[in-house]
Amino acid sequence: MTRSTRGLICVSVLVTEVTAISPMVAPLSDLIDVIEIRMDGLRTPLTADGIVDLGKPVLVTNRPTWEGGLFAGKEEDRIARLNQAMELGVGYVDIELQTALQWRAALCAKAKKTGTQVVISHHDFQGTPSGEQLSIILQQMITSGADIGKIVTTAVTPLDTLRVLDLQHEARAAGFPLSAFCMGAIGAISRFASVYLGGYMTYVAPSPEQATAPGQITAQDMHLLTSFLQAA
């Protein structure tokens, strides 16, 4: 099985200093396709040269505390940082589905001007909604103006994982790229399975100690899993 038959692998980086990003991801270059920079953890600004030097498409996320992130400031400041990152030439920008419509619309409009792909995301750290509720969330994403959806829930039972993975059928019928998987130990398998079941992208950690979500697989472990299928 080749790269063209699976979704993208994105390493998620949550650090305080921009200078720490390159040394962290450089050893993983052959194992990943995209680098997610969690801006909500940064204390120093991104630069255009720094983004280019990473050698991979960059996804920026400025996750607020109300969706499990670290940014606790004003919403206008949070969006402004994302806008600035788009001007620097990042490939993707993440915006939460629960962000106020005025901010979402402004960010999508900005992204069209900069040629940035918009990922609209939804995270549930408590559990997994019903199939009907998940479908409603997906439909809201499809009509949001974003380019890609991301639905991540917490698996309490194996059936939770199956419900989330099943969203790929609906997303594909709508022609909407979707990343959908579950957090937690029970949901860990979905992080791998998703990219072979039509998922646009999955997220991995640089190391076990640097995971940014429960159940996140490391880049090295994901590479070992995909290698087994490629060799089959």
Q: Per-residue confidence at 230, pLDDT binned at 50, 70, 90?
A: confident
User: What pLDDT digit, counting tens, does each position of 52-81 carry?
Assistant: 999 999 999 999 999 999 999 999 999 999
Is 38 known to sit in a ligand binding site? yes
* Domain annotation for the chain: domains and CATH numbers: 3-119+187-231 (3.20.20.70)
Q: Per-residue confidence at 5, pLDDT binned at 50, 70, 90?
A: confident
Residue whose pair of structure tokens reads 């979905």 in the numeric block:
190
Beta strands in 102-221 (DSSP E): 117-123, 148-154, 178-183, 201-204
Is 216 known to sit in a ligand binding site? yes
Please tell me which residue in 122, 150, 169, 223 is annotated as part of the active site: 150
User: What pLDDT digit, counting tens, does each position of 188-218 carry?
Assistant: 999 999 999 999 999 999 999 999 999 999 9
Check pLDDT > 70 for residue 231.
no
Please tell me which residue in 113, 122, 123, 169 is annotated as part of the active site: 123
Q: Per-residue confidence at 228, pLDDT binned at 50, 70, 90?
A: confident
Is 144 known to sit in a ligand binding site? no
Q: What is the CA radius of gyration of the chain?
A: 17
Q: CB-based contacts of 188: which residues, under 8 Å, 6+ apart?
A: 182, 215, 217
To the query of whether residue 169 is one of the catalytic residues in this protein, the response is: no
To the query of whether residue 113 is one of the catalytic residues in this protein, the response is: no
User: 8: number of CA atoms within 13 Å, CB side?
Assistant: 19
